[in-house]
Structure 1
Amino acid sequence: MLMGHRLRQRFGLARLLGVNNRGEEDFAEPTVHACRFEGSTKRLVTSDGTDATSEAVLFTTVEVKPGDALWLPGATPGDLDTRRRPLRITPCFDIRGGLDHYEVYV
């Protein structure tokens, strides 16, 4: 792994389990994972093709999916007031073609 030694911060992740017929989302219990957090404003195209402004990027070895809930370093996992959603998730590969880490824009 190219970035493993730099993953010194922690973020919360709750997997989206599903959506019921009323549109209410069900999430797994939040878990905490290693990351590197960088705050930077960037315009990007989200996974659904819309324009968005990213305020930060998380570098992590944990796969994050589009519907998942995130809590940035310093936030309390499970707190609905600080929950974020990934705007775009980019897998990054090492020189041998193996998956190295993910860049998660929030």
Structure 2
Amino acid sequence: MTLLGHTFRHTFHLARHVSSNAGGESEYEEPEAHPCRYQGATKRLVSSDGSERVTEAVLFTSVEVRAEDYVYPPGADVDDYGAGRLPLRVTPRFNLAGDLDHYEVYL
């Protein structure tokens, strides 16, 4: 149980990445609903190569989200492919005992 579990009052949908073809098109599983805490947070992310991106929100969840997975934020229509997005960064967070507690997903 995550320490933040009691704050997971929102629901997001996660479409897991299955494969990519030779043309670079990705295939995803059907989106599944998961609990989360979702909050708007404009933040500048700088990668190791110096490129910059700006996040619009952070999603806190106990479900593992990978960089190639497709995330539909709370309130997004899962039937509209354009409503989802790839995470800009996924950061695992650990509790004081060193065990995995939750993930922070920057969108």
Tell me whether the two structures share a fold, i.e. TM-score over 0.5.
Answer: yes
Q: Distance in 2 between matches of 1:78 and 1:48?
A: 35
Cα displacement (A) at 1:49: 6.0
Q: Distance in 2 between matches of 1:48 and 1:85?
A: 19
One-letter amino acid of the structure 2 residue matched with residue 11 of structure 1 = F
SS in 1 for 2:85: coil
Cα displacement (A) at 1:50: 2.9
Contact 1:47 1:87 in 2 (8 A): no
Relative distance call for 1:86 and 1:48 in structure 2 (3 A) is farther
Runs of 4+ in 1 over 2 A off after TM superposition: 45-50
Relative distance call for 1:46 and 1:76 in structure 2 (3 A) is farther
Give the structure-2-normalised TM-score.
0.92
SS in 1 for 2:98: coil
Q: Which runs of 5+ in 2 are unaligned?
A: none
Q: Which runs of 5+ in 1 are unaligned?
A: none
Cα displacement (A) at 1:22: 1.6
Q: CA RMSD in A?
A: 1.5
Aligned sequence identity (%): 51
Give the length in aligned residue pairs: 106
CA offsets per residue over residues 2-24 of structure 1, 9 Å max, x none? Answer: 10000010001001111101211
